[in-house]
Amino acid sequence: MGLFPEREKMMRYMKAGLPLIFAVAWTPVIWMLLAAVFGPPMQRLFSSWQPVVAILATATVLVMVGLVRLFRSIGLRNSDNAE
């Protein structure tokens, strides 16, 4: 691989950098999905947007943490099998 001539550098990047890039790229998508699905019913339930946004932000962070952990474990499992 031209970008990472050493396998060790590539593995360090894969372990640290890619989950961060994944989280930054997919957080708005997860936010929009949760807002579209759960926003309108929660808006009727709370009748104010502040608690809805707070709950959606918390849910988005929790979903992203779970997805990053899931993909990190899958990636580490696959990289261990590739050696």
Question: pLDDT tens for residues 22-62?
Answer: 888 999 999 999 999 999 999 999 989 999 999 999 999 99
User: Would you say residue 64 lies in a domain?
Assistant: yes
From CA 69, how far away is CA 43, in angstroms rounded?
Answer: 30
Query: Which residue range forms the structural domain that includes residue 22?
Result: 7-82
Number of folded domains that form the chain: 1
Place 6 in a pLDDT band, splitting at 50, 70 and 90: confident
Length of the chain: 83
User: Would you say residue 23 lies in a domain?
Assistant: yes
User: Would you say residue 17 lies in a domain?
Assistant: yes
Lowest-pLDDT range, 4-8, 43-47, 78-82? 78-82
| Cβ pair 35, 56 in contact under 8 A | yes
Provide mean pLDDT across the span 7-30: 80
Mean pLDDT, rounded, of the chain = 84
User: Would you say residue 16 lies in a domain?
Assistant: yes
Prediction pTM value: 0.73
